[in-house]
Amino acid sequence: MSERYRAVYSTEQGQLGKAMEKQSAGKKRPGQKSKAEPIKNPAKQGVRIRRESKGRGGKSVCVIDGLPLDQEGLKQLLKQLKGHLGCGGAVKGDCLEIQGDHREKLLLLLEQAGHRARLAGG
C-alpha cells in the first residue's frame, strides 16, 4: 500500500498506526467524565464531604477529602465518626469513606472536632 492509502484497522489487531496514537494522545472523548481528583491544596480548599454511589452496587458512601491528618489521625477520627453514626467505614489513601448518606451529620461532627468542612456535589 502507498502512503496515501494505508490500513487503519485490522480484524486481527484492531486499530493500527498513527490513527490510534492521535486519538489516545491526551484527547478526551465527548461525554467522557473525569474522575474526582484529590484536593491539591487542602489548607486553601478545606475539608469536603461528598456522596458517591458509582461502582458500589447502588449503595451510597460519604467520602471525606482534605483532612490535614496523618494515617493514624485519620484512623482515630474514622473510629469516632463510625461510633457516632453507627455505620461502617474505611480509610482509602488520604480519604475517609463512611457507609450510607450521612453528609449533614458528618458536617456537624467534623465542625465539633474542629475541622471546617463543606458539602460538595449535589
According to the per-residue pLDDT averaged within each range, which of 10-14, 20-24, 72-76 is highest? 72-76
Query: What nine digits make up the cell of 69?
Result: 491528618
SS3 64: strand
Answer whether residue 11 shows pLDDT above 80: no
Q: Give pLDDT, residue 50.
A: 92
- Give the closest residue to 99 by CA, choosing from 88, 91, 110: 88
β-bridge pairing 95-99 and 89-92: antiparallel
Beta bridge partners of residue 96, listed in sequence order: 64, 91
C-alpha–C-alpha distance, residues 54 and 47, integer Å? 21
Residue of higher predicted confidence among 80 and 30: 80
Confidence band for 12, pLDDT divided at 50, 70 and 90:
confident
CA nearest 96: which of 59, 56, 69? Answer: 69
pLDDT at position 51 over 90? yes
pLDDT at residue 94 in the model: 86
Domains and CATH numbers, the chain: 42-119 (3.30.780.10)
Contact indicator for 52, 85 with CB cutoff of 8 Å: no
